[in-house]
Amino acid sequence: MSRKLNFSSGPAALPEPVLQRAQAALWDLDGTGIGILEHSHRGKAFRAVLERTIAALREVGGIGEDFAILFITAGATHHFSMVPQNFLGEADTVDVCHTGVWSAKVMAEARRYGHVHVACSSAPAFDTTPTVQTYSPSPRYVHYTSNETIYGTQWHAPPANPPAELVCDASSDLFSRPLPLAGHGMIYAGAQKNLGPSGISLVIARKDFLATRRPGLPPLADYMTYVDEGSMYNTPNTFGIYMIGEVVAWIREQGGLAAIGERNTRKAALLYDCLDHSKVWRAHAKPGSRSNMNITFRGTTPALEAALIARAETAGLSGLAGHRDVGGMRASIYNAFPEDGVHRLVQLLHDVERDA
C-alpha cells in the first residue's frame, strides 16, 4: 500500500529516510545485534545514541554549554504544570502571552501555584500574535507559545523587551527554523511534530535559570534532577531519544535550520498565496502572524469544506480537518512534509473552487 500525504497536526509526518533507518535499527542498532527497543539504557550502545543525539542538537541548534539539553518522558502538557511548580512561588506572577488554546492551559496550570498576568492577548479570534505587550512590574518569567498549533499563528520574533526570562512552548515549531535562544530561560517542546514520536519532550534551558528552581521537589518533578543525572535518573524513552537524534541528523543533511526554515517559509507561502487569491477559501491568521507550520483556513460554506475533505481523502491527502474545537480546515506542513504535497493541496483547492 502506498503512503498517504499526511497533514496531521501531530503525531505527524516524519522524514522517510529516518523511518527507514529506524526500521533497520529496530532489528539491529549500529551492528550490535540488538534492536534499539531492546538495548539497556545503561549500556554502551545506548550511551552512544544519547551522546550523538545531544551533540547533533547542539551543533544543528547552535546551543552552547550554558544551556542544558534534557529529555523528559512526557509531552509538553507536563511542562504546563512542571514550569510553575519549579519557578512560580505563591507570591510570584508569571506574564503570559495569550494566543489560544495552549496558552489558556498554561495559565490554568500556573494559577495553581501563583499569579497570572496576561501580558497580551489575541482573544477571541486568536488570529494574530500581539505586537504590544504590557508586562507586570516584576514577573518571575514570561511565557509564550511560539506556534499556536490550533489557530495557526506563529511568533516570527519573540515577545519584545521581556522584563524576565522568556519561557517558550515551542512544541509545534522547534527546529523548524533557527533557534532564538537570546532572552530565553527555557524552551520546551513535545517531540511529535518536527522531532520524533509522542510521549517525550525536549527541554533546552539555561543552566543558571534552572538552578533558581524551588528546592525540595520530588525528583522527577525537579528540572535539576534531569541536569544532574543526564536525563537518566530513571529509564528514559530510549526510542524517542534515538528518533530525535536521527531527525536532527536529517535536518543537518538538509542544510541545517536556516535552510529548513527557508523551505518551510516557501511551502507555507504557496498555500497562503492560493488562499489569498481565492474567492471561496480564506486564511484564518492575519499576515505577519501566520504560521509556517499549521495553515488554518475556512471555506465560504460547510458544504465546500466537506467537499474538500472528501476529495482530499479520495486523492490520498489525509488529516485536513481543523481541530475539533475550532472547525474549518488545517494543513500541518512540518519539516518532513514534502513541498510537492503542498502543490497537490493547492491544485485540489483550485479544483474544488472551480467545481463549486
- For the question of residue 27 being annotated catalytic, the response is no
Q: Is 6 in the site for ligand PMP (CB under 6 A)?
A: no
Of 95, 193, 250, 267, which residue is the catalytic one? 193
Q: Which phi-psi region, left, alpha or beta, contains residue 189 (left: φ > 0; alpha: ψ -120 to 50)?
A: beta
Residue nearest to ligand PMP (CB): 75
- For the question of residue 279 being annotated catalytic, the response is no
- By CB under 6 A, the residues from 224 to 263 that bind ligand PMP are none
Shortest distance in whole angstroms from residue 101 CB to ligand PMP: 8
C-alpha–C-alpha distance, residues 38 and 83, integer Å: 32
Task: Kindly tell me which of 299 and 319 has the beta carbon lying closer to ligand PMP.
Answer: 319
Shortest distance in whole angstroms from residue 102 CB to ligand PMP: 4
Residues 6+ apart with CB under 8 A from 222: 86, 213
Shortest distance in whole angstroms from residue 192 CB to ligand PMP: 6
Task: Kindly tell me which of 77 and 318 has the beta carbon lying closer to ligand PMP.
Answer: 77
Residue labelled with grid coordinates 527507514: 20
Task: Kindly tell me which of 198 and 300 has the beta carbon lying closer to ligand PMP.
Answer: 198
CB atoms within 10 A of CB 347: 12
Give CA angle at 77 (75, 78), nearest 5°: 75
Closest of 151, 199, 195 to residue 170, by C-alpha: 195
C-alpha–C-alpha distance, residues 108 and 48, integer Å: 40
Shortest distance in whole angstroms from residue 64 CB to ligand PMP: 25
Task: Kindly tell me which of 294 and 353 has the beta carbon lying closer to ligand PMP.
Answer: 294
CA torsion, points 125, 130, 132, 135, in degrees to nearest 10?
90
- Going from the C-alpha of 139 to that of each of 73, 111, 122, 176, 185, the distances in angstroms are 29, 14, 20, 29, 13
- By CB under 6 A, the residues from 66 to 95 that bind ligand PMP are 75-77
Instruction: List the beta strands (DSSP E) in the chain.
Output: 5-6, 67-72, 93-98, 115-121, 141-145, 147-148, 153-154, 166-169, 184-190, 201-206, 281-283, 294-299, 317-318, 329-332
Of 127, 169, 173, 222, which residue is the catalytic one? 169
Shortest distance in whole angstroms from residue 216 CB to ligand PMP: 26
Task: Kindly tell me which of 169 and 246 has the beta carbon lying closer to ligand PMP.
Answer: 169
Task: Kindly tell me which of 146 and 231 has the beta carbon lying closer to ligand PMP.
Answer: 146
CB atoms within 10 A of CB 74: 16
Residues forming beta bridges with residue 295, ordered by sequence position:
331
Site map 149..188 versus ligand PMP, x via CB under 6 A: x-------------------x-xx----------------
- For the question of residue 102 being annotated catalytic, the response is yes
C-alpha–C-alpha distance, residues 12 and 336, integer Å: 9
C-alpha–C-alpha distance, residues 284 and 100, integer Å: 13
Site map 102..121 versus ligand PMP, x via CB under 6 A: x-------------------
Shortest distance in whole angstroms from residue 156 CB to ligand PMP: 16
Q: Is 145 in the site for ligand PMP (CB under 6 A)?
A: yes
- By CB under 6 A, the residues from 7 to 66 that bind ligand PMP are 10
- Going from the C-alpha of 72 to that of each of 55, 84, 134, 198, the distances in angstroms are 17, 16, 32, 11
Shortest distance in whole angstroms from residue 105 CB to ligand PMP: 7
Task: Kindly tell me which of 119 and 304 has the beta carbon lying closer to ligand PMP.
Answer: 119
Binding site for ligand PMP (CB under 6 A): 10, 75-77, 102, 145, 149, 169, 171-172, 190, 198
Residues that are catalytic: 102, 169, 193
